[in-house]
Structure 1
Amino acid sequence: MNFKTFIILSLVLTVLASSGCSGFYSEGAQKESTDFSLNSSPVKYASVNGVELGYREFGSGEPLLLIMGFGGTMDMWNATFVECLAQDYRVISYDNRGIGYSSDNEEPYSTELMAGDAAGLLDALEIPQAHVLGTSMGASIAQEMAINHPEKVDKLILSSAAYSVSVPETFLLENLLRSCAVNSDLDPAVRKQADANLKWNGTYEHLPEIRSKTLLLVGTDDEFTPPSITLEIAEKLPEADYIVFEGAKH
């Protein structure tokens, strides 16, 4: 495990463990196996909001939902990171609608819809509440989930987060999304994700409604969601800590 991954893992486990969850990290979480693979868990499917969401589960314990970022699949998570989390938690990763193993329908995408998918997946798995970790677009989905489905979210971890893609600080991200939205060479679902991000109204005014204990992670060299955005989010949240990683990108 590289040092950055270890530090992030430690911080994540710290915030999850801070009110009655398992300890800082287990003895097993300090060891790397040579045979763990994200493919070691079979893909399962859940019917949610008119689509079939593909998901995988690892480990046991309190549930922890991982929400992937723009254009990414659940098989893109760091395997060592997932393995270590699974030492103490029931880790659930999934593909957003239309991506990877998940199906699509004719419904236009929105960040709120994808947050509903995340909450619906927990319902399908009969999980009343879970810790939620979202990265990049996944952090936007996680915010909407915490605002619109607060009963489903325990601890909240937001990596490379933004409260909007239409503010001056995120102009590079907005330009990237605009380019992707009209690129006919891209997967249609990726283009729909880009369009959903561009139409997203953001969460800035609603951030004080998030009552979950929250950890925000960002790098000093994150050109798409710079640290200033993370600091603004942290200031608006009732219970938030943040960590800025020197030299880290998006």
Structure 2
Amino acid sequence: MTLTLKKAVAPDGAELAWAEEGRGEPLLLVAGQATGMAGWDPVVPALARSFRVIRFDHRGIGASAEGSAENYTTRAFAADATAVLDAAGVRRAHVYGHSMGGRAAQWMAVDFPTRVASLVLAATSASDARGPARSAAATAALTSGDPARMAPLFFSPAFVEHNPAVVGAFFRVQASAAVKSRHFRASRLHDAWDALPQIQAPTLIIHGSEDALAPVANAVAMAELIPDAQLIQVDGGRHGLHLDDARVQTWIEDFLSLVAT
């Protein structure tokens, strides 16, 4: 898939690469930790049939500039994402965040409530410090940089076997070791626990029962904290359930169609 890249300017002046496809109400996709916009490739075509899908590379990832080191926090990433909406001329968008992208999306809904029409939080959590923690083994696999060790945390063996190109693209990240470390630290230090009750946007939380990177109890906690949030627990789902399980795409599309004006 060839994308025409455009540039947004983050609050610290860093240039962020973004792209868009489709027509309809704007839908912003916010990728996970140290993951580029190409990781969304499998789900965009269906979403673009009903929405103007906007996605971007986080600072320091892919075609986006590194910017200031102090702005590697999930709250600063939320400001980056809002700058992408500004560049796209979008006043208000549906926001769909995966993993660390879901953490940044939480801050978008808190800090920029008028910009968020609805919120989809996939395989994410409110705080490592206060939510159920992942195991040391899962953390070691995640930080190894070895796709063979990371893949079982994200995808079922059958998905890995039948979709090698998708899995390869998801883990193929253009970023320095320093940037990857900053992303990991930003995600680890995220704590929006006390702020989540402020979220006003209609919210769907979708989470796999076998997510080793963000245990499912995190999703239950978020559903209790965010007013009127809807929670779907996906039996057997892992951290990459948004790509791995076709039902997840259907549930998200159904939710978005209901909240679209």
Question: Under a length normalisation based on structure 1, what TM-score does the superposition of the two structures give?
Answer: 0.77
Aligned equivalent of 1:141:
104
Of 27, 32, 47, the residue aligned with 1:85 is 47
Aligned equivalent of 2:82:
119
Distance 2:218 2:142 in 1: 22
Aligned pairs (5 A) from 1:4-153: 37=1, 39=2, 41-49=3-11, 50-79=13-42, 81-108=43-70, 109-153=72-116
Structure number with greater CO (CA < 8 Å, separation at least 6) is 2
Query: Which ranges of structure 1 fall in alignment gaps of 5 or more residues?
Result: 1-36
- 3-state SS, counterpart of residue 169 of structure 1: coil
**Contact 2:23–2:53 (CA<8 Å) still a contact in 1?**
yes
Distance 1:148 1:177 in 2: 32
Aligned equivalent of 1:3:
none
**Contact 2:8–2:17 (CA<8 Å) still a contact in 1?**
yes
Query: What is the total number of aligned residue pairs between the two structures?
Result: 207
Aligned equivalent of 1:222:
211
- 3-state SS, counterpart of residue 171 of structure 1: coil
Aligned equivalent of 2:180:
190
What letter is aligned with 1:188? A
- 3-state SS, counterpart of residue 222 of structure 1: coil
Query: Which ranges of structure 2 fall in alignment gaps of 5 or more residues?
Result: 145-174, 240-261
Residues 236 and 71 of structure 1: is their aligned pair in 2 closer, same or farther, counting only changes over 3 Å?
same
Distance 1:163 1:217 in 2: 14
* Deviating more after overlay: 224-233 vs 82-91: 224-233
Aligned equivalent of 1:34:
none
Aligned equivalent of 1:231:
220
How far off its partner does 1:89 sit?
0.4
**Contact 1:211–1:239 (CA<8 Å) still a contact in 2?**
no
Distance 2:142 2:46 in 1: 36
- 3-state SS, counterpart of residue 104 of structure 2: helix
Aligned equivalent of 1:213:
202
How far off its partner does 1:226 sit?
1.6
Residues 197 and 177 of structure 1: is their aligned pair in 2 closer, same or farther, counting only changes over 3 Å?
farther
Residues 166 and 238 of structure 1: is their aligned pair in 2 closer, same or farther, counting only changes over 3 Å?
same
RMSD: 2.2
Distance 1:167 1:174 in 2: 19
Q: Does 1:249 align with 2:238?
A: yes
Quick one: percent identity of the two aligned structures? 33
- 3-state SS, counterpart of residue 121 of structure 1: helix
- 3-state SS, counterpart of residue 135 of structure 2: helix
Question: Under a length normalisation based on structure 2, what TM-score does the superposition of the two structures give?
Answer: 0.74
What letter is aligned with 1:118? A
Residues 152 and 194 of structure 1: is their aligned pair in 2 closer, same or farther, counting only changes over 3 Å?
same
**Contact 1:131–1:154 (CA<8 Å) still a contact in 2?**
yes
**After TM superposition, which residue ranges in structure 1, 4 or more long, deviate above 6 angstroms?**
none
How far off its partner does 1:149 sit?
0.8
- 3-state SS, counterpart of residue 212 of structure 2: coil
